[in-house]
Amino acid sequence: MPKNLLLEIGTEEIPSSYIDPAIKQLHDLIKNALESKMVAYKDIKMLGTPRRLSLLIEKLNEKSQDRNEEHLGPTLKIGKDKNGNFTAAALGFASKHNVNADNLVVKKTEKGEYLCVRKNIPGEKSENILRLILPEIISKISFPKSMVWEPSNFKFARPIRTIIALYGDKVIKFSIAQVKTSNFTYGLHTISSKKITISSADRYVSSLRNNCVLIDQKERKTILKKIIETSAKRVKGNALIEESLLDEVNYLVEHPVAILGNFDEKYLKLPQEILINCMQKKQKYFPIADNKGRLINSFIGIRNGISENQNIVKEGYERVLSARLADAEFFFHQDTRIKLINKVEKLKGVIFHEKLGTIYEKIVRIKQIAGYINDLMEDKVESSNLEKACELSKADLVTEMVFEYPELQGTIGRIYSEVYDEDKNISKSIEEHYWPLTSESKLPESNMGKIVSLSDKIDTLVADFTIGCIPSGSADPYGLRRIAIGILRIIKENKLPIKLKGIIDKAFSCLPQNLQKNIMAKDQVSDFFRQRLENILENDGYKFDEVRAILTCGFEDLSDVEMRLKALKDIRKMPDFEPLATAFKRSANILKQAKKNNITIPATVNEALLKEETEKILYNNAKKIESEVKSALNNKEYIEVMKKMVSLKPDVDNFFDKVMVMVDDVDLRSNRLALLNYIKSIFFNILDFSLLQ
């Protein structure tokens, strides 16, 4: 009869950012292990708090499935002699598999007849399987940083203190990191250190709930959000609940309790972004706003535990926040004593990279690139304003506020710029030039913001590649993948008339002379863009082979890429397209094989050598549509180009049906290869058929 399985790894407090990835790993590890052992179950539920990583498996079968195994041995000719007796090879094979030779059977395969052993393997008890796989699974969970705390040098995020492993009501016995499995755990550590006995896997969630631990993170998050919203209503406000903060706080507590606190109204004179950052990033508090979206002098903190000594906790929360806000007020007044433009000179002392110079030198490059991009734009911005925006873009990096709150870079620049009544577009661009902050977040809205953002990002990307700071595998310490995606999205989603090669070349030309010697970096950056663009376009719904076929023929113009993709997607629905694509792929393969064999392919077709009627017809019809195709290509009428392509299908089919390309006659063979190459060249500017599947 199936029973439920419980595994709880009880630990000291695990960092909140580690928990969700860890329980996902735990899910995949147990799922793969049970499937490989052929143990059936109904469902897996993952649970997690700062002090425990748990899984519950519903209706896990008592044993693995029976299975049939088949092992091929020697061929029948080798396994039996002329008299039909088993040879030494057959006897050795039977002995190896612990069966009598008389039990060997003959199996017919494509390669002939073989002697074969067939075994029926009965299922193994799940308890025995779990005893082996559970400790192995625990040891495979990885973390960004791990600890060693006991003699066996076992590594985990934090020391393991208890392990529950229950199959129904029976303990699965094993030990790991010198901790033996049991059926007990602990409740909320701030209340009691008393052991809690879990009588069976079925009682786990309710037993913990009775001891003030909400083990289900989804349930806990729902309750957390509700108590935050309810607390905000007590002061007639609305809590500003950032989803990422809600998730973080959810993994900081096992039993959330909301604390409504207040701070001095004088701090409301500070910009809201600073107040919100102080509360959210530093203290993990939730700010409260009125119905018009303006902050009020109240906040919500979350404590881990039942509602005791609330006033003392509230006073502590208020005191800590008050100190933070007092510091922020001081930084704000200190910073705004000097205009932002007067801080730019200090950037000469801030190193961007030891091989790339200072932030000030980066700004000089950004200005040059921005001027180039502005000249390409249909809606240009005033050049003096653009130069000033570039100069001010990094000035807030030397402010006290950004030193204390680095996540406010850009935002502080915009705020301080507004204090001194700079042009609104300049102020806005200072913040926007960091956008998008993630691969999917919002893009710069103003033209000036788009230009400065592109200039800053392409400078960083090209410069880093030039000095060898190139992402490898999952390692991307400088966030270059995000930067490349940001560039592509800004150009693509705004349909900007900017060619990738152009801005790569411009950024490269702005680097110090000694770095411009690394010309290979240009190709590396271009290939890096292609890889990111493939991902973007596949996420947009295009098929992988379509994307590859289009990008191979050029991706400098992103608008053009999308137009070609849309045309390919539409024309591919025509019944004649796939057979034509197959024929074109055949052409490409023949040409590739010819080059591999060092066969010279003439640059032009010699009409006098066109012997067969079908090759003459193909050549003449291709010549007729060539000028039409060129005209359509110039006008970016890609649907028309592909229709012309499809119109050649009967001629291409007849050619391959009746003409042999790789004949012995060298001149004839070369001319037919030239004909195939000519047909390919007409359409190669739009896509590479050989990559379509």
Per-residue tokens: 340: 């932002």
Residue 684 pLDDT? 77
Mean pLDDT of 49-60: 97
Same domain assignment for residues 179 and 30 = yes
Residue 571 — very low, low, confident or very high, per pLDDT cuts 50/70/90? confident
Same domain assignment for residues 374 and 518 = yes
Same domain assignment for residues 370 and 427 = yes
Chosen domain end from 335, 360, 382: 335
Mean pLDDT of 192-211: 93
Task: Find the CATH number of the domain harbouring 429.
Answer: 1.10.3210
In this predicted structure, the answer to whether residue 362 has a pLDDT above a threshold of 80 is yes
Same domain assignment for residues 55 and 78 = no
Residue 561 pLDDT? 93
Question: Under 8 Å CB-to-CB from 429, ≥6 apart: which residues?
Answer: 389, 393, 444, 446, 448, 449, 451, 452
Is residue 39 a part of any domain in this protein? Answer: yes
Same domain assignment for residues 599 and 572 = yes
Same domain assignment for residues 328 and 402 = no
Q: Are strands 160-167 and 179-182 parallel, antiparallel or unpaired?
A: parallel
Label residue 537 exposed, middle or buried (CB < 10 Å: 0-12, 13-18, 19+).
buried
Is residue 156 a part of any domain in this protein? Answer: yes
In this predicted structure, the answer to whether residue 693 has a pLDDT above a threshold of 80 is no
Is residue 561 a part of any domain in this protein? Answer: no
Distance (Å, whole) CA 315 – CA 253: 20
Pick from 75-84, 131-140, 227-236, 376-385: least confident: 75-84
The pLDDT tens digits of the residues spanning 83-98 come to 889 999 999 999 888 8
Same domain assignment for residues 80 and 172 = no
Is residue 556 a part of any domain in this protein? Answer: no
Same domain assignment for residues 15 and 87 = no
Residue 191 — very low, low, confident or very high, per pLDDT cuts 50/70/90? confident
The pLDDT tens digits of the residues spanning 487-519 come to 999 999 999 999 999 999 999 999 999 999 898
In this predicted structure, the answer to whether residue 576 has a pLDDT above a threshold of 80 is no
Chosen domain end from 155, 181, 209: 209
In this predicted structure, the answer to whether residue 581 has a pLDDT above a threshold of 80 is no
Is residue 438 a part of any domain in this protein? Answer: yes
Distance (Å, whole) CA 10 – CA 538: 42
Per-residue tokens: 302: 């979350």
Residue 387 pLDDT? 96
Is residue 629 a part of any domain in this protein? Answer: yes
Residue 638 — very low, low, confident or very high, per pLDDT cuts 50/70/90? confident
Q: How many domains is the chain built from?
A: 5
What residues form DSSP beta bridges with 119? 69
Residue 629 pLDDT? 86
In this predicted structure, the answer to whether residue 596 has a pLDDT above a threshold of 80 is yes
Same domain assignment for residues 194 and 295 = no
Domain, as residue range, for 599: 568-691
Residue 53: enclosing H or E segment and its boundaries? strand 52-60
In this predicted structure, the answer to whether residue 577 has a pLDDT above a threshold of 80 is no
Pick from 246-255, 570-579, 647-656: least confident: 570-579
Give the N- to C-terminal CA distance of the chain in Å, as an integer.
49
In this predicted structure, the answer to whether residue 685 has a pLDDT above a threshold of 90 is no
Mean pLDDT of 302-324: 91
In this predicted structure, the answer to whether residue 580 has a pLDDT above a threshold of 80 is no
Residue 250 pLDDT? 98
Distance (Å, whole) CA 520 – CA 517: 9
Per-residue tokens: 191: 């209340």
Residue 408 pLDDT? 96
In this predicted structure, the answer to whether residue 646 has a pLDDT above a threshold of 90 is no
Same domain assignment for residues 443 and 401 = yes
Distance (Å, whole) CA 114 – CA 416: 83
Same domain assignment for residues 131 and 117 = no
Same domain assignment for residues 476 and 594 = no
Is residue 548 a part of any domain in this protein? Answer: no
Mean pLDDT of 205-210: 95
Nearest to 682 by CA among 654, 639, 642: 642
Residue 567 pLDDT? 87
The pLDDT tens digits of the residues spanning 454-493 come to 999 999 999 999 999 999 887 898 899 999 999 999 999 9
Tell me what percent of the residues of the chain surpass a pLDDT of 70: 100
The pLDDT tens digits of the residues spanning 673-682 come to 999 888 888 8
Q: Return the higher-pLDDT residue of 597 and 26.
A: 26
Chosen domain end from 540, 559, 585: 540
Distance (Å, whole) CA 485 – CA 528: 10
Distance (Å, whole) CA 609 – CA 412: 74
256 three-state secondary structure: strand
Quick one: DSSP state of residue 150? Answer: S
Distance (Å, whole) CA 297 – CA 289: 9
In this predicted structure, the answer to whether residue 578 has a pLDDT above a threshold of 80 is no
Is residue 554 a part of any domain in this protein? Answer: no
CA quadruple 611, 614, 615, 620: dihedral, nearest 10: 110
Task: Find the CATH number of the domain harbouring 639.
Answer: 1.10.730
